[in-house]
Amino acid sequence: MIDPAIVIGVDPSLTAAGVATAMTPECAEYGDDQFKVATFGRAGKNDEPLYTRLERIEVLADEIRDQAVNLMQWPSLMLIETPAYSQSTGKTHDRSGLWWEVVRIFRRELEIPVIEVSVQKVKTYATGKGNTGKQAVLLEVARRYPHVAISNDNEADAFTLAAIGMRLIGAPIDDVPKTHLRAMEGLEFP
């Protein structure tokens, strides 16, 4: 087990990126909440110029970094949801740019190990089924973690990523059925 430890979960989105942090109780002794969630982003326009879109991506990536680092002690691991490769709507190229910028910041600038986790694994860990909808994940996460103020499905996905990460480092924050633990298959600390 890595202890003390802080794990960050990121569900990247241009309009509503979910960011969650979970820490071992030793870290919380410094005065921070053991669990935090937040949403970042803003609506864009289809005809925005190149540099406006680039600035949006950079600002959002910085906000994600600041939420994860500045509000708490140094993180130990970051998990990010894999891109939705099958989607062709909603500024796919720009979302990809945000994904890579977040990974670059955490891996290169902050030197924090990064693990990508598929959408199916997030859903499986949260609900036991890899093909369920976002609302089912939100309802299950809100039920399982009533002490965390999760307000939307992006935060629910991000918190699920943080919970997966805490289990991965040997400091689980929950007790989930074996069907949910299938999501852990193939994941390992880098």
- pTM for the whole thing? 0.93
User: Could you count the other beta carbons within 10 Å of the beta carbon of residue 146?
Assistant: 9
pLDDT higher than threshold 70 for residue 61: yes
Residue 132: the pLDDT is: 94
Instruction: For residue range 4-51, list pLDDT tens digits in order.
Output: 788 999 999 999 999 999 988 877 665 568 899 999 988 888 788 999
Instruction: For residue range 153-181, list pLDDT tens digits in order.
Output: 999 999 999 999 999 999 999 999 999 99
Instruction: For residue range 81-129, list pLDDT tens digits in order.
Output: 998 776 666 688 889 999 999 999 999 988 899 999 999 999 999 999 9
| Token representation of residue 134 | 């976002």
Crossing angle (nearest 10°) for helices 153-168 and 119-127: 80
Query: Mean pLDDT of all residues in the chain?
Result: 89
